[in-house]
Structure 1
């Protein structure tokens, strides 16, 4: 039995706990991984993260391992096939947004050299280490997520409201929102 203190949101589900213990909050600078998390977060809007996490491998298969260059060129037949795929969330607006977001992602890479340089610029290139004592203290949005959301929308991204963007920032380690007594707090 694991007796280490961890963030309460993940406790009770082995998949959730493994994600928390190994991925959540770890700084990500790789464009491919940043894109994967961004797309998963957009599909999560209105749903629980565990729902998306359980379908993650299906999403990877369905969306060509999140190859944004391929996704940017999806045609209607591929979109129609995705909408019939019971292994993913079959939301027409979100599937179409994935194609749009891939195209906007590539434009940002062209402008900034990488998506990583662009997005990490919002936190001056290094993670913000918060000091939240409890889960209830953690905000759903911040002024930075508000600004990033607004800029992404201006650049053509869809389903990137401030709450989705802040969840992305948490997942990819742009902010460390592990509670202070969580064993991962100091590790990330």
Structure 2
């Protein structure tokens, strides 16, 4: 069952939570590097958990990770790592916390080389999912096939975020090609 269809069968308040993400974020291009890192952090944290758990904690993630500010996250100290591992509002997993910090550092390198994280993605587009997975595993921490696939679908780089007859799919097409 697709995400588009699954939302229709959900009871409230689950339906509203998912519908907001589905209708306004999922599959839409993101042009801000901080938000791209934020989406990557959320996708990494979803590993082994439900997307609903992550959606419920989105504001806590945003607060804990300084509104996904790449520069600030890349400069986190051991004290920041400990703070994050004690924060009940997010997923307290050492590997996932470390990945967020290390990936922010890597994005700074990519920004220096390509001008932005978004331009780095554009430079490599289009690729197949296996090609993207290989590239992400070589470049970032904690990025397996599902994480990479969902991240790229969620920002419009891979197809499949929406059914073709979904109204939101038509809205995304109208925003231009990716």
Alignment of 1:71-110 (within 5 A): 71-110=73-112
Q: Which residue is 1:174 aligned to?
A: 157
**Any conservation in 2 of the 1:45–1:159 contact (CA below 8 Å)?**
no
Partner of 1:42: 44
Per mean C-alpha deviation after superposition, the further-off stretch among 104-113 and 57-66 is 104-113
Structure 1 residue 163: Cα displacement: 1.4
Taking structure 1 as the reference length, the TM-score comes to 0.82
* Cα root mean square deviation, aligned: 1.5
Please, which runs of 5 or more residues in structure 2 have no aligned partner? Answer: 173-178
Residue 148 of structure 1 corresponds to which residue in structure 2? Answer: 132
Instruction: Give the structure 2 partner of residue 8 of structure 1.
Output: 5
- Superposition pairs of residues 111-150 of structure 1, within 5 angstroms: 111-124=113-126, 144-150=128-134
Matched, 1:184 2:168: yes
Aligned residue pair count: 164
Contact 1:69 1:102 in 2 (8 A): yes
Answer yes or no: is the 8 Å Cα contact 2:129–2:158 preserved in 1: no
Q: Structure 1: which 5+ runs fail to align?
A: 1-5, 125-142
TM-score (norm 2): 0.86
Structure that is richer in helix per residue: 2
Partner residue of 1:161? 144
Structure 2 match to 1:138: none
Shift of 1:84: 0.7
1:153 Cα deviation (Å)?
A: 2.5
Structure 1 stretches of at least 4 aligned residues deviating more than 6 Å after TM superposition: none
